[in-house]
Amino acid sequence: MNDKHREFNENDLLERISEGLDISESDYNKAVSSYTAVGEYLSNNLEGDISVYPQGSFIYGTVTRPYLKGQDAGYDIDLVYEYDADSAESCKNLVGEAIKNSD
């Protein structure tokens, strides 16, 4: 086997592995729909300007499929929540109460 053929196979293998670890398009769309719904819910139930958006691996496109005990597990996506409140404590309490009262 020549080196060029071997290099192609190794690259192909790495590509297939990375595709298997990547978030699926349907899971990606579900995550976007979910955090958008949270932002809309909070905007409709709290006064003021509210912004909810992802950060970390989700925004950078480096999300990896999670496994727990050899099985697929749920994704953990970090969100940023921007809300103009009097204090961090009041923001936490207002948002917490709004979410507790949601379906």
pLDDT score for 2: 57
Say which DSSP state 47 is in: S
**What CATH number corresponds to the domain at position 80?**
3.30.460.10
Q: Which two tokens stand for residue 2?
A: 């020549």
Q: Is residue 1 part of a domain?
A: no
pLDDT score for 63: 81
pTM for the whole structure:
0.68
Is residue 39 classed as helix, strand or coil in its secondary structure? Answer: helix
Residues of the chain with pLDDT under 50: none
Q: Is residue 61 part of a domain?
A: yes
* Number of domain units in the chain: 1
pLDDT score for 62: 81
pLDDT score for 1: 53
pLDDT score for 76: 77
- Strand locations in 1-103 (E): 50-54, 67-68, 71-72, 79-83
Q: Is residue 30 part of a domain?
A: yes
> Could you list the residue range(s) of the whole structural domain that residue 35 is in?
23-100
The answer to whether residues 21 and 65 touch, using CB atoms and an 8 Å cutoff, is: yes
Place of tokens 């379906």: 103
